[in-house]
Amino acid sequence: MKILVVEDDERISDAIAEYLSDQHYAVEVATDGQTAWELLEVFSYDLILLDIMLPEIDGIALCQRLRAKNCDLPILMLTGKDTIGDKVEGLDAGADDYLVKPFELEELSARIRALLRRGGSTTPPVLTWGDLRLDPSSCEVFYQEKQLFLSPKEYKLLEFFLRNGRRVFSRAQILEHLWSFEQIPEEATVKAHIRGLRQKLELVGAPHDLIETVYGLGYRLKEQPQ
């Protein structure tokens, strides 16, 4: 899952990005509304954390602009404004939730999970594919009864495939979804992570081609027998 954090206070954005990265989210940070708008026109995200007081385009205007373009991404506003009128303004602009600073990161994480569940997703709390099981709430992965111990990127990669079923993704698409714009590496990095993930799956008894290569197109999960 990829989150765009729009926050001009570097101390706050760094703390959020570090915490959410530890929760296995891919995180992108924009420090002003215009940069956020440009990123949203090019890249795909699952949720936006949006400060109200921003340079260039403020959070209220950005939210209104996104909703006017029929953007239905969940938007959680983060702000120091705590009056009822401020909250009404933010929600009327199109925000789905409103969190007043200062806040606890644990509460932020809980609200993100709630918004992602509410955002029209039919994804079950525990993701399964045959004998493979991934629990996003505990970040644990099992094949049959054997637990896999994955690196953060391997975990994000496996979760990404599980959330998208049989859909095929090219290396470029995987990079776009799982790495931030400033950190996007060479496409060979995806191949290396796929190889490492396959090896760990094989070690617990999963088929070597559970993540299969669709030549010339990319990767997807192998269809499981009924």
Q: Are 155 and 209 in contact (CB under 8 A)?
A: no
Residue range 2-30: mean pLDDT, rounded: 89
> Is 24 strand, coil or helix?
coil
User: What is the spatial distance between Cα 107 and Cα 99, in angstroms, rounded to a whole number?
Assistant: 9
Give the contacts of 10 (CB within 8 A, at least 6 positions apart): 31
**Full-model pTM:** 0.64
Which domains can be identified in the chain, with CATH numbers? 2-118 (3.40.50.2300), 127-221 (1.10.10.10)
Distances (CA, A) of 121 to 105, 116, 154: 23, 7, 23
The amino acid occupying position 149 is F
Per-residue model confidence as pLDDT tens digits over 27-39: 889 999 999 998 8
Q: Which two tokens stand for residue 110?
A: 């809980």
Per-residue model confidence as pLDDT tens digits over 181-203: 666 677 888 889 999 999 999 99
Q: Would the pLDDT of 80 be above 80?
A: yes
